[in-house]
Every structure is written in structure tokens, then in C-alpha cells.
Structure 1
Amino acid sequence: MNSGEQSNEPSPSAGISMAALDTLDPDAFDWTAYSGTYKGRALITRLTFISNLIVHASQSPTPRTLVLARAAALQAIPLLKETLDTDLYLRIVGLIDATLHPDKLPHPAAAGGSGNADEPMDIDSVYARKGAEKDGRPDAVWIEERRATQQAEENRLGVELNGYISNLYKESIRLTYLDMAKLDLKAGSLPKAVTAFHHAREYSSGPAHHVELGLLVIEAGLSFNDPTPLGGYISKVEAMLDRLHPPTSTIAGPTTSTMTQLQVQQNRDAAAHNQAVRRDVGVKLRVARAVAALAQKDYQRAARELGEISEEGGLQDWEGEVISTSDVALICAICTLATGSRDHTRRVLLDRASFHAAVGDSQGWIFDLVRAFVDARYGEALGILRKAEPYMILNPLLSPHAAQLISMIRTRGIVQYLSPFSSVRIPAMADAFGADEDAMLAELCDLAERAEIRVKVDLVDRVLTIKEEDKRADAFRSALEGGSAISATVQANTFRMRLKEAGVVIDPAPREDRDGKKGGGGGGGGGGSGGGRDRDRDHEREGNGGGPAWSTKLRKATVS
């Protein structure tokens, strides 16, 4: 198994709702809309994600979900045959075989969800022939050809690399390592590719090489749906970009009277080029920061970064290579609803023309969801969200966060519903949210226990009383606490200042260190006698009308 694909396989403990996926009709599923503008490795990752998700779920898959998993795997087979990724090909064929024979599925209770469907199929143990993938049988001839091609290419690049290293051709070494990384990516091994990129970085010269290399690593991680390499390279690319293409103001420079028209035009062209490059690289860095923030469950930052992508010109050459514009709009909308107020949601979603342009033709429900939430029609909004849950689960980027984001949106809706009232009847609130009265009551009690809302629940009359915040009392309490802290700090600093004026110094060293310094230290008699002679000289100076400086200051402080 290639470790580069492990991130695409969700954990059995991910808590995926198989009941939500069972609502989908495999025969009517819109594969064109699901594939969107994705292509290459990103599309392979997207299609194989469905099969891995269903087969390795913590709940037993239903017959309808198995049909969906098999359909996704079959669509991924032709794409995989355009690569050198034989390990993933064998695993997907194994998943197809498992969907045809449910007894081969990994048991949900098994540790780690491992099973036969998780391992590459043994091509020697089955009758393998071309075009038999739909029956769960691999194409043995294609596998042998691809493995031979990969081995020959690795040998060729290895020989070239050794020759370049012997002759110290730095640029050729760098380019060869880049070719090796691309070969590893084609073979589906992201860790080996990242290692090759690291070696190429050692032979890079100049900011341009570092920016190119950083973007290649980021693109590879995103296409494999693995955010692990993103963190370190985002900051490196940002730093090198400022060196390679400084801000326009520093490039254009002032226009003087001694400059010719040609020089002025060249400066303007250079500034325009730098601005275009910075905008292009900046959009890619925004995508990387958004995906990294999403992986860390920083949904507010993810929404902010994704919301600015369309404002800055869109994905351009990254469209479909790592993410699509429709997915950017979907994730931005869901994260904004989960973290923002209604006014904020209206401003960054409904009032933005770029967001309207980013939403795909098959995603009209996103507008219905946002409008219902902004207009405080929470029951309608949650109903739309329930219907959209399967598509969120099937999205590789949103799937690990779907349940939490839906819960956050529901909680935010409850909080916003209660904000203008002093008391609410629970039956009326349950009707507004389209929920059962007892379930609504249990949910409100749970939110109150978690301090999400400040309410009192009357179980007899079924009335919810909102505890009003006394802002005046809170302001006085905050001012009193701040004043007490400042007063204590002032008193401590005043006392310290008077001690310093009196020449009294407290040794901050530990007691054992202070004891070791007495008498010149315990290292030997000579040190002790030296300390004694110093004290004798101090007494002699004191007897002659002098004295240590600290004693003089102390006497002055006492007299005053």
C-alpha cells in the first residue's frame, strides 16, 4: 500500500452516517456534477474516496451504498490506468470485488477496520484479464507493463542523477530530482515525492526555484487530499515570494524627469508583471491556508480565506487540479454559516457577486440555504441542510467535518433565534425548527449545560426564560477587577523602588546557590580565606570613615 493514499481512506471511527448516504439513489446520482472540473490525480482521489468511505465506515454499508461505491470505483479505473499507481489500482479492484461479495467486507468491529478489502489484491490468485475490473478481477498484463515502465524510468533517472552528481552539474541535479518526484506522484507515492522535492531544494538557487518547489509540494499534497506537507511550505513560499516579487511600490519606483518614456513603460510593465505573479501565487497560498485551517477545524479562518479567492480572480490554472470553484463556494458557505452572524453571512455571501458566480448550476440549494438562514427561517434551513448532508459526506474535504459543522449551524440558529426574546415557549420553538418538542427540550438543556445559552427551563409550563446580561454591572465588575490588579502592581513596584533606593538587594538565586557563594565558595580553604580578607578590608574602610556603598546609602535613607 502506498502511504500517499492513506489520507484518502477515512477512519472507521469517523462517525459517518450511513443512513444519510442510504437516501441517495445510485442510479440517479449526478456523476457529472460530482466530478465537476476535477481532473488527474484530484479526480482519482475524489472518486476513490467514495469507495473507501463506504467500505471502511464504522457502520455496515447498505445495498444501495454498496452500489454507489462500486459505481465510483468503476469510474476511477480508466483514470488509474493512465497512471503508474498499480497499488491503488489493485486496492480499488479489491473494493469492487468486496462490493460484489459483502462477506469480504471488513467487519465494522474489527480493530482499525482492516480486512481483505483494504489490501492490494493478489493478481496471482485470480483469473486476471483485460476489462474484467467490473467483475472484481484486475488486468494482470497492464500491471506488469506499468511496473516495468516505472522500474525502467527509475533506473534511467538514477543513472542520470549519478552522472550529474559526479560532474557537479547543480541545475541538472535539481531538474532530475524534480523528474523523480513527478514519477513518484504518478506512481501514487506522495512521501517519496516529497523526499525527492526535499533533495531538489538542496540544489535550488534563488527565490524563483524555492517558490516553484514550494508550490509543487503544496499542489501534490492538495491533489492527494493530504494536508500534512502544507504547513511548512506555506510560510516558505510567502517569504520567498516577497524576495522574488516585492510589492509594486518598491518595484515601480518614482518617475523622475530624467527618465525616458521607454524606461517609464518598462517600470510599469515590471510592476504589472510582479502584481500579476503575486496575485496568482497569493490565490494558491489562500487555497493551501484554507485547507490547512479546515484540517485544524479553524472553520472561521477557512471561510475567510476561501471567500477571498473569487475576489482575487479565482483559481486559474489550479481549477480542478486541487479543488474546484464550486467546492470553494460550498465549503465557504457552510463554514460561514457555522461561525458567522446573520449580518456577516449576508455581507460575505449574498451581497458578493463573486460568490454568486462561484456557485455551480447544480448547487442552487446553497442559495436557498443561506437565504433561509439569513431570513431566520431556521426550520427550512435545517431541512435543506439535512438533504445536503449526503453530498457533504461525499466531499473529501468536508466529510470529516460534516457532522460537526451541521451541529454548529443548528446551535448558531438556536442562539440567534433566542437573542431577541426574554422568554420563549418551547412548543413554538420546536415548531419553528421543525423538531419534536421533547427532542427540542433535550437539546436546549444540553446547550444550557454546555453554557452555549444562558436560560432557565420551566419543565412544567414548557417555557424558556433567557437570562438577561446586566451590562452595567458587568462593566463595573470588570473595572473593579482591573483597578484592583493595577493597585496591587503599583504597590509592588513602589516597594521594590524603595528597596532599591535604600540599597537593599535581594538575591534571586536559589538558596543552595547563595550558600555555595559564602566565604568564597566551598571549593577550598583558599577561597574561604579570600572572602575573609575582603570582609576585613571592608571593615578597615569603614573604620577610616569610608564604608561599603550600600551602608552609606542605607544611612542616608535612614536619616531622611
Structure 2
Amino acid sequence: MDQNLQAFFTLVENQDGVVVRDPPKLDLEIYIQNYKGRTRFDRLFLIGRSSVPLCVEALKAAIAEAKRGKDTHRYREAVELLRIAAPSEPEATYDQAWLEAQEASNKAETNRLLTELKGYKNNLIKESIRMGHEDLGKHMESIGDLNAAAEAYSKMRPDISTPKQFLDVGKHLVRVSIQRQEWGMVTAHLGKLGGTQYAEDDKAVQTYTKIGYGIALLGQEKYKDAALGFLAADPAIPASSYNELASPSDVAVYGGLLALASMDREELQSAVLENSKFRTFLEQAPHIRRAVTQFVSGRYSACIAILESYRPDYLLDLYLQKHVPAIYSQIRNKCIVQYLIPFSCVSLDTMEKAFGRPGQSIEDELADMIQAGALEARIDSIKKLVTTRTANPRSQMQAAALRTAEHYERQALDRLRRIGLAAADLELKGGKKLGGFAPQHDFLVEETLG
């Protein structure tokens, strides 16, 4: 590795950043074409900061993307990283003329929009005021002042007159909140966005909302809820409706990975493999379909092998990067637990062949799972065996008998109460139709039965 690159990634590691040394499977130019808006720069910048093989290419692309926009702060950040990683590149030198011209233009545009908005407010024309706030919000977002952009978009709400305008405001606020990674605000704005009749009738808005919820819930580590959001997206909706958030391939990857981490075999079969809508998304990421199929078929080591081969790609994803270790750990633990279910005893050598990883003992991993309560088993270090704990059939039978007796007793008491009420010619209002009575009326039943 080049000395400058080595020094750059040493610095990244010292700052607790993620460094991906293995080459990913993605083609950077084709990959970034799937997105629009400010997320393009965010993704290029993350790849440049994290991927050793793609560092220079991604940072140069990020600089070019920044110069196509108005955000001079982003441009400075990308150039500064490239100066450390590859100081000999032409793009590693600041384009001072562009910087000065763009900053002057940004300032002039801000003043112009503020002056126009002030005039609209003086004239008290609601539509003009709404459009003035929207123009100001878009401008502030484009130059990177997300706080001012969110404030401007919020001020559009009092002047909204149509459902379409309401949806536009919601999307603006969702987009800005996602950029700021304020996941609670994302879900709050999406809740308002999906609460209108217009949204319920618009499948494009529904899909946008479900993908937005998925991203926000992923950010909050609510993996199963996030998976359900992605799994409910409609593939018939054009990607242009939501590619400022994610691409169709992202929807397949996010939905499939999170489902693997949070659902059992039956749920995976019905919610993923037999989901006709999501199957269309899976065509964009066939390896995810193969991984889910391998898990459902009981070929756990093959499932893990597929996912491990794509780990570098997922570590370069804007929303997945922070969660890859946790998601992969949950999937791996599920595979190990499912693998052991049919057996009462398995040798450590067999487990090592199925789930072993270079530089890590499977015995230590199993011990950690047992201590965490993820696996009910015992390890015999002398005989090199893993013995699963099986429940006592006699205890299970006794517990089942007790539950049945308690259920029968409750049903018998309910029937006696109904008989008592009928005999007293009483009618109980507000109670359940079948079984169960309101506590405040129990004294009537007791007196009747007495």
C-alpha cells in the first residue's frame, strides 16, 4: 500500500473509523448512478473514507459531485481527505477561484431569497409565502445549512392549501432529518406524511413512507420492524420516487439482511421467499435470495459464506455500516442454534468445519453465546464435545397438565357465573360476549350463586 494511503487509514483507525481493506464487488460508477440528491456525495465520501481499494477514486468522485452543487463545506472536507490520502492528485489542490465564486453566489442568493420572502409576508399572499419558504429551504439545504433548511420547510405548514403541498413538506422534512440522522424525527414526519387520504391513495407515497420507516428503524436498531417496512415496498413504483433515500438493490439488501437477523425459518419463507412483491426487489440482489434460501433449507454454513463474501460492500453502505457487526452476529448465532437443534451432542471439530473463522476459536464463540443466554448447551473441553440441553419430558408433561387444569377451572367458573345470571334473570352490560365479566359486577354473581 502507498505510504500516504497507509498513513491516512491509520489516522482513520485512530479516530475509530471503519476501514475496509478487502475489495468490494460493487462498481463505483454504476453504483452511484442509482442515487440522486445529496445522498450521492454522502455515499462517495463514506466509501472514500473507508475503502482502501476505492479511496482515491471515491474521493475524486466526491469532489466532482461537490463542485456540481453549492456546498463548499463538503468540497473542503473531500479535498482535505484527498490531500492526506493522495497529495499528488490534481484534485487534492483547492480550486480557490471556484470556492470564492460559489461562496459569494451562495451569500447573494440567500440575501435575495430572504428579501423576497419578506416582501411576500408584507403582501400577505399565502401561496407566495409558502413558495418563498420552500425556495429558501431548498437553497439552505443545497449549501449544507440543514438546520435553517428544516426551519424553512417547517414554516411552510401554515400556508398549505392542498394535500399535494402537505406531502411535499413532509418529504422535505424527512429528507433533511435523514441527512441529520435524527431517526425519531424521521418517524414523526413520516407518521404525518402517511396520515392523509391522499397518501393512502398514492402507492408511490406509500412506498416512499415504508422505505423511509425502514431506514429510520434500522438507525434505531429495531431490525424486525425495519425489515417489515422494506418487505412491504412496492416494486412497481419507479425508483425515481425514492432514490434520494435508497435504490431498489438497497431495499432488497436491507430487507433480506434484517429479515435474516430477526425472523425464524417460517417467517423467512412466507415474508421473504413467498412475497411476490419483494421477490422483484430480490432480482436486484440475487445473492440475498440465495442466502435466505440456504438458511431456510438448513444449509447454514453456505448462508454465512454468501454473506461474508459481501461484507466489504455492506461496510461501505451509508446506513448499514454501523450495524453490520450486530446484524451478522445475530444471523451467525441463529445459524449455530438452528444447526444444533437436531443433535444432542456435536463434536467441536464438526462445529469448526461448519462455522470456523480464521483466527477465532469456535469454542470461545460458543462459550460467549452460552454466557449471553443465546445458546442452551454445555461444552466438554476434554472430550471436545458440545452437548445441547434437552428439556425433561416429565416436567413438560406436568407443566402442560397444570396449564390445562387452570384453563378448565377458569372456564367452569365462567359457566357457573353465566348460569347464576340467567337464573336471577339479570343482564350484564359491558362485559365480554364469551367468558369473563367486569369486576364491578362480580358481587351480583356471588350473591346469586350464594
Give the TM-score, by structure 1 length. Answer: 0.65
Structure 1 residues 438 and 323: CA distance shift in structure 2, 3 A: closer
- Report how far residue 135 of structure 1 moved: 4.7
What is the rounded CA distance, in whole Å, between the counterparts of 2:76 and 2:357 in structure 1? 46
Structure 1 residues 435 and 149: CA distance shift in structure 2, 3 A: closer
Match of 2:83 among 92, 97, 104: 97
Could you say which residue in structure 1 is the equivalent of 2:366? 444
Could you say which residue in structure 2 is the equivalent of 1:411? 333
Q: Check if 1:77 corresponds to 2:60.
A: no
Could you say which residue in structure 1 is the equivalent of 2:352? 430
Give the letter aligned to residue 94 of structure 1: E
Structure 1 residues 148 and 15: CA distance shift in structure 2, 3 A: closer
Q: Check if 1:201 corresponds to 2:157.
A: yes
Could you say which residue in structure 1 is the equivalent of 2:387? 465
SS of 1:456's equivalent?
A: strand
Structure 1 residues 30 and 446: CA distance shift in structure 2, 3 A: same
- Report how far residue 75 of structure 1 moved: 0.7
- Report how far residue 190 of structure 1 moved: 1.7
Deviations 1:62-81 (A, max 9, x none): xxx45522211101222211
- Report how far residue 317 of structure 1 moved: 3.1
Give the letter aligned to residue 31 of structure 2: Y
Give the letter aligned to residue 472 of structure 1: M
SS of 1:81's equivalent?
A: helix
Identify unmatched segments of 5+ residues in structure 1: 1-9, 55-64, 102-131, 248-274, 488-492, 502-560
Could you say which residue in structure 2 is the equivalent of 1:261? none
Structure 1 residues 23 and 67: CA distance shift in structure 2, 3 A: closer
Structure 1 residues 478 and 440: CA distance shift in structure 2, 3 A: farther
CA contact (8 A) 1:48 1:76 kept: yes
What is the rounded CA distance, in whole Å, between the counterparts of 2:150 and 2:28 in structure 1? 32
Give the letter aligned to residue 400 of structure 2: A
Could you say which residue in structure 2 is the equivalent of 1:49? 46
- Report how far residue 189 of structure 1 moved: 2.0
Within a 5 Å distance, the mapping from 1:94-493 to structure 2 comes to 94-100=80-86, 134-205=90-161, 207-222=163-178, 227=183, 229-239=185-195, 241-242=196-197, 244=198, 275=201, 277=202, 279-310=203-234, 313-359=236-282, 363-435=285-357, 439-469=361-391, 470=393, 471-476=396-401
What is the rounded CA distance, in whole Å, between the counterparts of 1:298 and 1:202 in structure 2? 33
What is the rounded CA distance, in whole Å, between the counterparts of 2:189 and 2:77 in structure 1? 31
CA contact (8 A) 1:426 1:463 kept: yes
Structure 1 residues 33 and 377: CA distance shift in structure 2, 3 A: farther
What is the rounded CA distance, in whole Å, between the counterparts of 2:336 and 2:234 in structure 1? 31
What is the rounded CA distance, in whole Å, between the counterparts of 2:33 and 2:277 in structure 1? 19
Give the letter aligned to residue 43 of structure 1: R
Give the letter aligned to residue 322 of structure 1: L
Give the letter aligned to residue 410 of structure 1: R
Structure 1 residues 297 and 374: CA distance shift in structure 2, 3 A: same
Structure 1 residues 475 and 423: CA distance shift in structure 2, 3 A: same
SS of 2:386's equivalent?
A: strand
Identify unmatched segments of 5+ residues in structure 2: 1-11, 414-438
CA contact (8 A) 2:378 2:388 kept: yes
- Report how far residue 474 of structure 1 moved: 4.0
Higher mean C-alpha displacement, 450-459 vs 412-421:
450-459
SS of 2:237's equivalent?
A: coil
Deviations 1:232-282 (A, max 9, x none): 21121222x13x56x7xxxxxxxxxxxxxxxxxxxxxxxxxxx3x2x2211
CA contact (8 A) 1:217 1:233 kept: yes
Could you say which residue in structure 1 is the equivalent of 2:27? 30
Structure 1 residues 13 and 329: CA distance shift in structure 2, 3 A: farther
SS of 1:45's equivalent?
A: helix
CA contact (8 A) 1:382 1:410 kept: yes
CA contact (8 A) 1:225 1:397 kept: no
Give the letter aligned to residue 294 of structure 1: L
Structure 1 residues 436 and 174: CA distance shift in structure 2, 3 A: closer
- Report how far residue 348 of structure 1 moved: 2.9
SS of 1:210's equivalent?
A: helix
Instruction: Find the structure with the greater CA-based Rg.
Output: 1
Give the TM-score, by structure 2 length. Answer: 0.80
Number of aligned pairs? 405
CA contact (8 A) 2:138 2:149 kept: yes
SS of 1:309's equivalent?
A: coil
Deviations 1:359-402 (A, max 9, x none): 466x4432332233222222222222222111010001110100
What is the rounded CA distance, in whole Å, between the counterparts of 2:161 and 2:89 in structure 1? 47
SS of 2:68's equivalent?
A: coil
Structure 1 residues 438 and 290: CA distance shift in structure 2, 3 A: closer
- Report how far residue 483 of structure 1 moved: 11
What is the rounded CA distance, in whole Å, between the counterparts of 1:225 and 1:133 in structure 2? 32
CA contact (8 A) 1:41 1:224 kept: no
Give the letter aligned to residue 312 of structure 2: P
Output the aligned Cα RMSD.
3.3
What is the rounded CA distance, in whole Å, between the counterparts of 1:437 and 1:156 in structure 2? 61
Give the letter aligned to residue 411 of structure 1: N
Structure 1 residues 454 and 29: CA distance shift in structure 2, 3 A: closer
- Report how far residue 321 of structure 1 moved: 2.0
Deviations 1:261-320 (A, max 9, x none): xxxxxxxxxxxxxx3x2x221111101111111011111111111011136x33543242
What is the rounded CA distance, in whole Å, between the counterparts of 2:312 and 2:26 in structure 1? 11
SS of 2:387's equivalent?
A: strand
CA contact (8 A) 2:314 2:321 kept: yes
SS of 2:375's equivalent?
A: coil
